Amino acid sequence: EVQLVESGGGFVKPGGSLRLSCAASGFSFNNAWMNWVRQAPGKGLEWVGRIASEADGGTTDYAAHVKGRFTVSRDDSKNTLFLQMNSLKVEDTAVYYCSVQTYGYFDWLDHWGQGALVTVSS
Amino acid sequence: DIQMTQSPSALSASVGGRVTITCRASQDINNYLNWYQQQPGKAPRLLIYGAINLQTGVPSRFSGSGSGTDFTLTISSLQREDFATYYCQQSYITSWTFGQGTKVEIK
């Protein structure tokens, strides 16, 4: 069974940093493309970024609103995905989900974690 | 970025009723369109990928149609567990975007 467990959420002041982790199990993590998606309180889903498998180059992509501030990385030896968030803003307050991307002719997000809440406030 | 616009933002329907949600892309995305369901307090769940393909395990009362810029999610006979928020999402370009969501409530 695929399991994704996010951790590292919490309260941080504007301008601060936080690192989220996503522990993965039940699938071949090193072959997986992984994504982060966030959801502000009472709002819709917003794609944040992804990282390809190392075999596919380990390349990263980001949404415009986080590019230059957030970094997605992975440690395949520990089956763990990370999201380093710097220069945080109040509008980054959200539940952050990690998710496995199924890719091929079509791409989609198949399995999701339960989410980690990040609150940015002074 | 490609903007995804869903309509309506919310709707009320009865159990057994038929529901149609539309999603419009700001440019042609071929059929690179996915639909997700999110129940309160839970993570999203994939329903349909590639505009028309039902994900394994999803009931056949869900169906998707469309191509290009206009897409539709239909629930043929609404069940109690279908009351949730539905999102479309484009995977045509690297920077993915979601629609704003459609909340389906009980009438």
| Cβ–Cβ under 8 Å, residues B34 and B83 | no
**Both tokens assigned to A70:** 């957030």
Residue type, B103: K
- What are the chain B neighbours of A105 within 8 Å (beta carbons)? 50
Band of pLDDT at residue B106, cut at 50, 70 and 90: confident
Residue-level pLDDT at A8? 98
Q: Does A114 touch chain B (CB under 8 A)?
A: yes
Reply yes or no on whether the pLDDT at B107 is more than 90. Answer: no
Rounded mean pLDDT, B73-102:
97
Residue-level pLDDT at B31? 97
| % residues pLDDT > 70 (chain A) | 100
CB-based contact B34 A109, cutoff 8 Å: yes
CB-based contact B43 A115, cutoff 8 Å: yes
Q: Chain B: nearest CA to A46, how far in angstroms?
A: 6
Closest CA to A118 of A84, A80, A77: A84
Reply yes or no on whether the pLDDT at A18 is more than 90. Answer: yes
Rounded mean pLDDT, A59-70:
97
The gap from C-alpha B71 to its chain's centroid, in whole angstroms, comes to 9
- What are the chain A neighbours of B87 within 8 Å (beta carbons)? 44-45
* Mean pLDDT for all residues in chain A: 97
CB-based contact B49 A45, cutoff 8 Å: no
Band of pLDDT at residue A69, cut at 50, 70 and 90: very high
CB-based contact A47 B98, cutoff 8 Å: yes
Number of H helices, E strands in chain B: 0, 11
Could you give the CA distance from residue B71 to residue A89 in angstroms, rounded to a whole number? 34
Residue-level pLDDT at A103? 84
Interior angle at CA A28, CA A76 and CA A85, nearest 5: 45
CB-based contact B98 A45, cutoff 8 Å: yes
* Mean pLDDT for all residues in chain B: 97
| 3-class SS of residue B18 | coil
pLDDT in tens, B29-58: 999 999 999 999 999 999 999 999 999 999
**Both tokens assigned to A22:** 């996503």
Neighbouring residues of B86: CB distance < 8 A, sequence distance ≥ 6 = B6, B21, B35, B36, B37, B38, B47, B73, B101, B102, B104
Could you give the CA distance from residue A94 to residue A109 in angstroms, rounded to a whole number? 19
Could you give the CA distance from residue B99 to residue B104 in angstroms, rounded to a whole number? 15
Could you give the CA distance from residue A71 to residue A49 in angstroms, rounded to a whole number? 8
